Amino acid sequence: MSEAHKEVMRLYWEEAINKGNYSVLEEVADPNYVLCTPGQELHGVEDLKGLLASYRTAFPDAHLEIDDMVFEGDKVVTCFTVTGTHKGDLTGIAPTGKQVKFSGMILSRFENGKIVEEWEILDQLTMLQQLGVVSSPA
């Protein structure tokens, strides 16, 4: 099963995340998809498309590099690094033109060959510090 999961994850990361080809989400995500992140829970492929589009607007040159990927049963854990330039609104933060580089980790659970649930943690503090929105502790 891990070979099939690898192909789904490759499509997800390369096409949807790095290229902004959100139509691929219909292939890789279950219609009842759920994403849990600290302070937020999204339901369905349309919510996922909206979230990815908002990040693409804020960081039009965003690129996600996979640092590591582990497969076990119906789950995949992906460690990644995101780079990009802040050129659009980011949840009310006006464009700064600054480049960011931050890390994240996501646990994806599969059913019937599609991603049905994900739990994601992003190092948003580092990103906000790089944008100059939050200062580093003294």
- How many CB atoms are closer than 10 A to CB 122? 16
Sheet with strand 40-43: strands edge to edge:
40-43, 29-37, 114-122, 99-111, 75-85, 63-72
Ordered structural domains, the chain, with CATH: 2-79+105-121 (3.10.450.50)
Task: Write the pLDDT tens digit of every residue in 51-97.
Answer: 999 999 999 999 999 999 999 999 999 999 999 999 999 989 999 99
pLDDT per residue as tens digits for the range 5-41: 888 998 999 999 999 999 999 999 999 999 999 989 9
70: three-class secondary structure by DSSP: strand
The pTM is what?
0.91
Helix (H, G, I), strand (E, B) or coil at 67: strand
At 1 the pLDDT is 54
Enumerate residues 6+ apart whose C-beta is below 8 A from 138: none
